[in-house]
Amino acid sequence: MKESAKYKHSSYTPAKQMVWRKSITSHMAICKAIWEKYPKWKLSYRIFDLFAGPGIDPDGQMGSWRIALDIYDNDPIDRFRLELYECDPVQLDCLKRSIPDQHKRKIGVKPYDHRYLDVIYPDRLLSKSVYGIQYHDPSNADLSISTMKRLHTCYPHVDIMVNLAFATMKRIDKAPHANLDYSIDEIMEVKKRWFIREPMGKHQWSMLMGTDWDTPEAFASWEYVGWAHTASALGIEWLDRCRLTVKERIHNGQPSLF
């Protein structure tokens, strides 16, 4: 495992966790409303946390999947499940120890590996009754577009959330021996509708959230948590900052905001 891929807590982490908490709270609430409308469909809610981390960080703060569990505890949704993936044995061990006994049956834990994921989610698997989120929160820009696409093929109603340092991503992508197998445009081809958060700091930390739902009003509450639709003026501006280098922005006649 590359050193850069290991679990790290940065000054951006608390902001990220706050956005994750608020966004998942509202996402679960939207899904609960669907459950109530169609009780016979026996829909289920699943979070695929592909870069799960320890659950409780060294400062005692909750990480992504523990936050999701906390939201569930406060306002349970039927047929809730967490699928956790973590490749670092040290973090995996912390993760296993952080799982509360009463939730063990709701949580699947796997050492993450792309080939292994292909076995778990074969091409023929298709489940339209599962809603939820596939969450990609890599330490570096170590995202796998094939994993994202495969999960989307198997679970088309599961939305996608990505947390990335876009400056890092662009830097790696422009490096002579770049090995990024994805671009923002490719990510955005996976779902129909995307939301974005304002890039923060010199690393340009930002989040993308993709869905196929055609009900923008369902996501109206997200704007209060700082999300903008990528077709809105604000969304286009934030997306350009994430997608283009300063040089490219100047070349396009856009002012540099950094």
Ligand X SMILES: C[S@@+](CC[C@H](N)C(=O)[O-])C[C@H]1O[C@@H](n2cnc3c(N)ncnc32)[C@H](O)[C@@H]1O
Q: Could you tell me if 198 and 171 are in contact, meaning their C-beta atoms sit under 8 angstroms apart?
A: no
Cα(149)–Cα(184) distance, integer angstroms: 14
Q: Could you tell me if 61 and 14 are in contact, meaning their C-beta atoms sit under 8 angstroms apart?
A: yes
Select from 121-129, 135-143, 181-189, 233-241 the region that touches ligand X (CB under 6 A): 135-143
| DSSP conformation letters of 152-192 | HHH-TTEEEEEEEEHHHHHHHHHSTT------HHHHHHHSS
Among 45, 80, 85, 195, binds ligand X (CB under 6 A): 85
CB of 34 to ligand X, least distance (A): 26
Q: Does 137 bind ligand X (CB under 6 A)?
A: yes
Among 64, 134, 168, 230, binds ligand X (CB under 6 A): 64
CB of 163 to ligand X, least distance (A): 8
The token pair that represents 33 in the structure block: 């409303």
Q: Could you tell me if 50 and 112 are in contact, meaning their C-beta atoms sit under 8 angstroms apart?
A: yes
CB closer to ligand X, 64 vs 168 = 64
CB of 228 to ligand X, least distance (A): 22
- Among positions 38-57, residues that touch ligand X (CB under 6 A) are 51-53
Residue type, 23: S
Q: Could you tell me if 137 and 163 are in contact, meaning their C-beta atoms sit under 8 angstroms apart?
A: yes
The b/e string for 106-127 (b: 16+ C-beta within 10 A; e otherwise) is: ebebbebeeeebeeebeeeeee
Size of the site for ligand X (CB under 6 A): 18
Please return the burial class of 181, using the count of CB atoms within 10 Å of its CB with bins 0-12, 13-18 and 19+. exposed
Residue number closest to ligand X, CB atom: 63
Q: Does 195 bind ligand X (CB under 6 A)?
A: no
Site string (141-160) toward ligand X, x via CB under 6 A:
-x------------------
Q: Does 205 bind ligand X (CB under 6 A)?
A: no
Q: Does 112 bind ligand X (CB under 6 A)?
A: yes
CB of 245 to ligand X, least distance (A): 24
User: Per DSSP, what are the bridge partners of residue 227?
Assistant: 197
- Where do contacts with ligand X occur on this chain (CB under 6 A)? 5-7, 51-53, 63-64, 85-88, 91, 112, 137-139, 142
